[in-house]
Amino acid sequence: MRVTVEIVILALIAAFLGLRLYSVLGRRAEHGEEPVQPRFDTPQGGIGAPPALRHEDQPVSASRVRDMPPALPAVEKGLRDILAVDRRFDPHAFLDGARAAYRMILEAFWRGDREELGHLCDRAVAQDFINAIAQREAAGEVVDNRLVRINEAMIVDAAFAAPLARVSVRIVADVAAVTRDSQGQVIAGSLDDAVEVRDVWTFVRDVSSPDPDWMLDETDAG
């Protein structure tokens, strides 16, 4: 598991490293920033996955199952393999949820929220983010970043290998990034110029577990 190459580059240049899930596949926001998704609390009070990345109580409709998101045949087979063992899995809802997770995880990283990253990411991925936060803090730097919009989200891989379901989503987004020093002075980046970021995020869930949440398991360049 490794942090996205593009994000590592942004981290080195602008202390920008980092890169669960509500919009339509491939839909581009027409104007301005997409609305920030709210947090969702688990019954125990911790941070849980957004509804679309949770194992729902009601099975999806037959028409929803037939209406798969656009995907290569091998990817569609993987989605159907997951559906065969988890009848409540909804590819469309998952894809919507992945977009919200992308925002939540990025924003948690930018504000240095180690606890939330631990709830949303696999241990190794969370540790990568935490290490980057520590490096940023040691340098006395603060990031003032903004996810302007998500331009595209598409499922590019899906597989089931008992007991784990894995789904990869390619995300293309515009990010405005600014790094400030300990005095608040801008030392890199600009909020006026967004950078296109392309990532593939892989989410995993143990379908035999009562835990409803999908976790970010891997990040890669898109």
Here the CATH number for the domain that contains residue 83 is: 3.10.450.240
Closest CA to 206 of 168, 167, 163: 163
Q: Could you report the per-residue pLDDT of 7-41, keeping only the tens digit for each?
A: 433 343 333 333 333 232 223 333 334 433 433 33
Q: Do β-strands 142-143 and 164-180 pair in parallel, antiparallel, or remain unpaired?
A: antiparallel
Q: Could you report the per-residue pLDDT of 138-158, keeping only the tens digit for each?
A: 999 999 999 999 999 999 999
Share of the chain above pLDDT 90, in %: 55
Whether 204 and 168 have beta carbons less than 8 Å apart is answered as no
Q: How many residues does the chain have?
A: 222
58 vs 194, residue with greater confidence: 194
Residue 40 resides in a domain: no
Share of the chain above pLDDT 70, in %: 69
Q: Name the residue range of residue 193's domain.
A: 5-26+48-221
Q: Give, in order, the Cα–Cα distances in Å from 136 to each of 15, 16, 96, 112, 180.
A: 6, 9, 31, 9, 10
Residue 50's pLDDT is 53
Residue 32 resides in a domain: no
Residue 206 resides in a domain: yes
Residue 43 resides in a domain: no
Residue 164's pLDDT is 97
Residue 136 resides in a domain: yes
- Tell the burial category of 184 from Cβ atoms under 10 Å away from its Cβ (0-12, 13-18, 19+): exposed
Q: Could you report the per-residue pLDDT of 193-207, keeping only the tens digit for each?
A: 899 999 999 999 999
Residue 33 resides in a domain: no
In the structure, what pLDDT confidence band is assigned to residue 54 with cuts at 50, 70 and 90?
low
The total number of structural domains in the chain stands at: 1
Q: Is the pLDDT of residue 219 over 60?
A: yes
Q: Is the pLDDT of residue 79 over 80?
A: yes
Sequence letter at residue 18: G
